[in-house]
Amino acid sequence: MLMPENSNEIFKLLIEKGTVFLNQFDIPADHKKFFIVAGHSPDKIITCAVYINSNIHTALYKNQILLNLQVNIKGVKYSFLKHDSFVCCSTPLFITTDNIMKWINDNRCKYIGCIDSEDLENITDTLIDSGLLTDEEIELFFS
């Protein structure tokens, strides 16, 4: 999906909670990661996103609080997953829709699909209850 420069407003309309992208992030280098748009501002200028990881990093098993912020999603529910995976709600990402569109135009990012409402609700509740977001951020992204 290559987006012309003047289609920014149209692209913003397409960004919905639960949308999944595969992106080539800079760190670590050459590592593609799925991310989910968990929430967005009313004008859809900025999103609150979370990574999908194949496994829970072993260091997290030493910290129950961080471990509780890993949300399991079933691989059988999503054609883009090869196996059960974990949504990392311990590291919310604030990504502008302009950046997502730029990444798509640079062929670094692509739309993959959407997660279902049950998983989205679980992720949203986990983020809201995490203590990692301010009341203002919760209002901005999830109201």
**In this predicted structure, which of 27-36, 38-47, 54-63, 129-138 has the lowest mean pLDDT?**
27-36
pLDDT in tens, 32-45: 899 999 999 999 99
Structure tokens at 138: 């919760």
Q: What is the mean pLDDT of residues 109-137?
A: 96
Among 81, 78, 86, 93, residue whose Cα is nearest residue 57? 86
Residues β-bridged to residue 51: 35, 88
Task: Indicate if the pLDDT at residue 21 is higher than 80.
Answer: yes
pTM of the model: 0.89
Task: Indicate if the pLDDT at residue 88 is higher than 90.
Answer: yes
107: left (phi over 0), alpha (psi -120 to 50) or beta: left
